[in-house]
Structure 1
Amino acid sequence: MKKTIALLTGGTTGEWVVSVKSAATIAQNLDPARFEVYKIMLSQQGWFYEPADSLKIEVDRNDFSLTIDGRKIRFDGVFIAIHGSPGEDGKLQGYFDMIGIPYTTCDALTSAITMNKGYTKAIVHDIEELSVAESVQLMHAEDAAGKVKEKLKLPYFVKPNNGGSSIGMSKVKSGDELQAALDKAFKEDSQVLVEEFVSGREFSVGVFRSGGVIRVLPATEVIPANEFFDFEAKYTPGATEEITPGRMTDEERARVERIVTKIYDRLNCRGIVRVDYFLEEGTGKFYFIEINTIPGQTITSFIPQQVAAMGVELKTFYTELLDETIGR
C-alpha cells in the first residue's frame, strides 16, 4: 500500500530558494511505486499545494490536510525540505508532534538546539577526539567588538548564531574589520558567534540512521577558490572545488566516522544530517564546525554527491530515510 507523503518546501528566510531546488531533487527521486507525493509550498502568504492543472489549494492547518474535489487527503508523513526557519529550527516539528504526523527530520528539541551554533558546541565539546575552536557567543551588539578582542586571537570567523547557508558570515583578519563583520552578522540574527580561525582542510559529511544503525556517508572535501566557504562559494558553480570522497588517510576516515557517529547520537538526531569539520593543519585534529539537520538536496549538494559516491541511487536512499523516520 502506497504511503501519502507531503513534501514540504519554501520557508520564510533567504534560504527558500535552496529549499525549492532541494524539493525538486527529492520529488524526482521518490519511488512512485511506494509513495504518493504532494509538494506543498510554505511561505509568508500561506501553505499551499499547487497542482499543475488547477489553482493552488490551501492546506487546512488544523490537521494538515488537503481537500481536493471534495475528497479529504491526509498524510502518512512529511518530508521536510525547508532549510532555515520554520523547517530546521523545530517550529514545524513541534506542530507535527502536536497533530501526530511523523516527519523525516530531527525532533523539535534537537532541531531548535542545533540551529544555535553556540549551544550545539556546548553539548558536543567533550566528545572524545573532538575539538572546538575558541569562541565568544554574543547576545547583544553593545561593546561586542571589545568582548571579542579581549577573549580571542585574530583571525576570526564571525557568523550569525542561528543562520544557515553561511549568510552573514565574514572572516576578519585585522581588528579594524571586526565592527563591519559584526554589523553584518547582527543584521541576520540577534545572537552572533565569533570563533578563532582554525587552519586546516575543510570537510562535510552526511550521517543517517538506516535499519536502526547509524551510518556515515563518504565525506566531501571542500576547497573554496576564495578564503572560505560562504554563500556565494556554496551556490556559485565552479567557485569551490569539491572532492567526494575527500582525501583522508584510513586512520582519519575511521576517526571521523567514530566522532560524527557520537555527535549524531549525543544530539539525538533523526533522518539525514550533515556535519562540517576541519582537520587541523599539522596535527590532523578534528575541529567541529557545525551540524545541519536539513542539509541541501539540490543536485549539486553534498548529500546527493556522497550518496552517489557510496554507490547507492538517491531513490533507494530516500526510501530508506522514509522507512526509518515515517515507517514502512
Structure 2
Amino acid sequence: MSKIRVAVAMGGYSSEVDISLQSGDIVCKELDKGKYEVIPVHILKDGWYFLDDGGNKNSIDKSDFSFTLNGEKVIPDIVFNTIHGTPGEDGYMAAYWDLMGIPQTSTGFYQAALSFNKRDCLSVLKHFGIHCANSYYLNKGSHPDLEAIIKTIGFPCFVKPNRAGSSFGISKVNEMEDLQPAIDKAFEEDREIIIETAINGTEVSVGVYREKGEIRALPVTEIVSENEFFDYEAKYMGKSQEITPARISEEETEAVQLEAMKVYNLLNMEGVTRSDFIIQEGVPFFIETNTTPGLSAESIVPKMAREAGMTLTEFFGILVDEALSKK
C-alpha cells in the first residue's frame, strides 16, 4: 500500500513567517513516516516550492499545486496547513486548496476568514451569548475622538490590529497620552484596529479539535506573563509561564472547555483551534480563536496534546485522518 503524500505548508506572507516555519518543521519531524510521505512546502512572498532531501528548492505549479518529484508530477493527497497569518490563516489558501480539490487540516475558508477578523468574529459570537470585552473599532484614515473612545472602553485597554497574530502590534494602554501612539503602532500591522476593555482575571487557552467527527477539548493552559500582557516576547522568548493544566478549579476548567467547544461548534470549525479566554469571577470572557495555532516546540497546543496523553505523532495523525475523512 502506497503512503499518503502529505504536503506540510509553512511560511506565509506576514510577520509570523518565522514562527510558521518552526511549526512546519515540527510537523514534518513528528508525522508518522511509516504511514505518510512528508513533503515540506514553503509558501513565501518570493515563491512557492518544496524542499527535497538535499535541501533543493523545487517550484510548485500554482495552477494545480503540483511539483515534480523523481521525474514524476505529484499532487499531494492532503495539505497539513501550518501557515500563521496571511494567506494560511485568513482563508485564502483554504479556498485555493478547496478549488484544487485537495483536503487540508485546518478549517474552511469562510470560517478562517471570519475568525481571523476579530471585529467580525466578536460580532457573531456576542449574538450567541458568548461573553466578550467591550470594544471599539477604527479604520485607517479615520479621525478618532479619543475622549469618546475612552468613555466607551475605559482604562486600562488593549489596542490591537484587527487581523494579525502572535501579538504583533498590540499595546496595553493605561493613560490617555499613550493611546494615540498605540493606535499608530497597531495601524503598522493592519488597516483596521480594535480597542478593547482590559478584562482582569486568569488568562487561559483551550485547544479544540475533531476526532471521528466528535468535538473534543484539550487540557486548559494558564498563561502567566512576566510582561504586562502575553505579548510576542512572552510568547516566544521565554518571558512567560504556560502552565498545563491550568491552576483553576474543576468548575472553571469545565466552563472554559465548554465555552471553547461552543465557539468551535457555533463557527462550524474543522481541524485544531486554540481559543483564548480571561476568566473573571468564574466567567470565561472570549478574546480570540486561532485556526492555525502554533505547533513549534514553544507553542501551547503541543503541550496540551502531551498533557492529554498523546504524542505529537498521534495527535497530528488524528488531524490528517479527520481531514481525509471529509474528502
TM-score (normalised: structure 2): 0.96
Query: Could you tell me which amino acid in structure 2 is paired with residue 134 of structure 1?
Result: N
Contact 2:158–2:170 under 8 Å retained in 1: yes
- In the alignment, which residue of structure 2 is the partner of 1:35? 36
- Counterpart code for 2:317: T
Where does 1:246-265 land on structure 2 (aligned, <5 Å)?
246-265=246-265
What is aligned with 2:314?
Answer: 316
Q: Is the 8 A contact 1:141 1:186 kept in 2?
A: no
Match of 1:125 in 2: 126
Q: Are 2:206 and 2:257, in contact at CA under 8 Å, matched by a contact in 1? A: no
The residue aligned with 1:110 is: 111
**Which residue is 1:78 aligned to?**
79
1:127-179 CA distance string (max 9 Å, x none): 45x31100001123432253423422111100000010000000000011000
Note the C-alpha offset of 1:214.
0.4
Query: Using the alignment, how far apart are the partners of 1:68 and 1:323 within structure 2?
Result: 24
Equivalence map 1:98-247=2 (5 Å): 98-128=99-129, 130-146=130-146, 147-237=148-238, 239-247=239-247
Conserved? CA contact 2:160–2:195, under 8 Å: yes
Amino-acid identity (%): 38
Whether contact under 8 Å (1:145, 1:178) holds in the other structure is: no
Unpaired runs of 5+ residues, structure 2, are none
Q: TM-score when scaled to structure 1? A: 0.96
Task: Tell me how far apart the structure 1 counterparts of residues 275 and 231 of structure 2 sit (CA, whole Å).
Answer: 16
Judge conservation of contact 2:68–2:74 (CA < 8 Å) in 1: yes
Residue-by-residue CA offset, 1:165-213 (whole Å, 9 max, x unaligned): 0000000000110000000001110000000111001001100000111
* Conserved? CA contact 1:145–1:182, under 8 Å: no
Number of matched pairs:
324
Q: Distance in 1 between matches of 2:19 and 2:299?
A: 10
Q: Find the residue that maps to 2:265 and give its secondary structure.
A: helix
Q: List runs of 5+ in structure 1 lacking aligned partners.
A: none
- Residues 162 and 191, structure 1, Cα contact 8 Å, conserved in 2: yes
Higher mean C-alpha displacement, 66-75 vs 22-31:
66-75
Give how far 1:54 is off.
Answer: 6.0
Deviation at 1:241, TM superposition (A): 1.2
CA distance in 2, matches of 1:160, 1:326: 34
User: 1: distance between equivalents of 2:324 and 2:192?
Assistant: 34
Shift of 1:327: 3.0
Q: Distance in 1 between matches of 2:29 and 2:39?
A: 12
What is the alpha-carbon distance in structure 1 between the residues aligned to residue 155 and residue 257 of structure 2? Answer: 31
Moved more, 251-260 or 184-193: 251-260
Amino acid at match of 1:140: K
- SS of residue paired to 1:113: helix
Q: How far apart in 2 are the matches of 1:104 and 1:285?
A: 31
